[in-house]
Structure 1
Amino acid sequence: MRAEPSQRWILSFADLSLLLLCFFVLLQAQTANKDRVTAGIRAAFGGKGEARPADAFRAAPLFEGGEAILTASARAHYMRMGAEAAAKKTPLIVASQGRDGGSARLDAWEMSAARTTAVARALRAGGLPDAMIEVSIPPMRADDPVKGQTISVRPQSK
């Protein structure tokens, strides 16, 4: 007489597969808050490294009303940041998230892109070469709500 082989391993495999699927679905759902998600994952797995600092600001107060022209203080801030990064030879990423309403001259998408570019130009004016500046504007859809634009500047990962 021969015993039938047990098929319990299938249940364990299915359970593991579903857990992995849920993990990746949750990871994808949190794309708007990448720094907090990566910090949480790093902490869960016992990572000791720090997240790279980001200099993130709401865009509207940095610019003249309805324009893509930096205020004098914001321009000076980003020029100093560009000079510091150039001295340390640190490439920077200028990342835009979201968008503000448009103006008579620019629609919301153009305003978002122009403001992000204005920050990159201020970094360049501070002495950081173009080759060390990366501009990142994630895709936006027309039906996404206008919740305001945030511009962040952070060191580029190596």
Structure 2
Amino acid sequence: MNGLPPASIQPRRARWALSFADLALLLLGFFVLLQASGSRRDQTLRGIGAQFGASASPSDINLPLNPLFVPGEALLSPEGRARLVTTALPLAGQGEILEIQSFGTEPGQRRFDAWDLAAARLGAVARALQEAGVPQDHLRIAGLAETPDQAGPAGKGQTIRIVRRAQPR
């Protein structure tokens, strides 16, 4: 005997390796497609989740800030505050964090330059949500986005995106 198992046992041992290789290639293909979807990644993941029976949650919201704020200032108008609260509060869930992201800027005028105005408005949105009842530890300010493709065409002003995130454990 040469120490090798009989020939009838060898093909059965190799079957699991073929199945494992198929699984590995399938997962690799999935992640390549997910990466290739680029800016539509969240939409793709929601679609995949829906196919597997995941419950649909309120989608993230994008709010252009021009109609919400006093022009050139970081002060919410009364109508803007009401619109912000009624739009964003349904996203506040049990144990989840609302992440506030900012895209784009507007030209500053008197007190603020463009960056200061964008940052001040981001803070004003967070304070308004906190005053509306969202606990401070459930709010996260992500800051100003650095990728211009997410802000949309140039000159469109500042946009705030409010995204639900799972609470870190």
Task: Classify the TM-score, shorter chain.
Answer: 0.5 to 0.7
Confirm whether residue 157 of structure 1 aligns to residue 166 of structure 2: yes
Confirm whether residue 101 of structure 1 aligns to residue 106 of structure 2: yes
Structure 2's unaligned 5+ residue stretches are 1-9, 11-16
User: What does 1:1-158 correspond to in 2, within 5 Å?
Assistant: 20-30=27-37, 32-44=39-51, 46-79=52-85, 91-104=96-109, 105-108=112-115, 110-137=116-143, 139-140=145-146, 144=148, 147=152, 148=156, 149-158=158-167
Shift of 1:119: 0.7
Count how many residue pairs are aligned between Structure 1 and Structure 2. 151
Post-superposition Cα deviations, 1:65-123, rounded to whole Å, max 9, x if no partner, equal 2332222112134456788889x866541422421333232224x33332221111111
Partner Cα distance (1:38, 1:54) in 2: 13
Partner Cα distance (2:48, 2:142) in 1: 24
Structure 1's unaligned 5+ residue stretches are none
TM-score norm. by structure 1 comes to 0.63
Taking only the aligned residue pairs, the percentage that are identical comes to: 32
TM-score norm. by structure 2 comes to 0.60
Choose 1 or 2 for highest CA Rg. Answer: 2
Provide the aligned C-alpha RMSD in A: 4.0
Shift of 1:36: 1.6
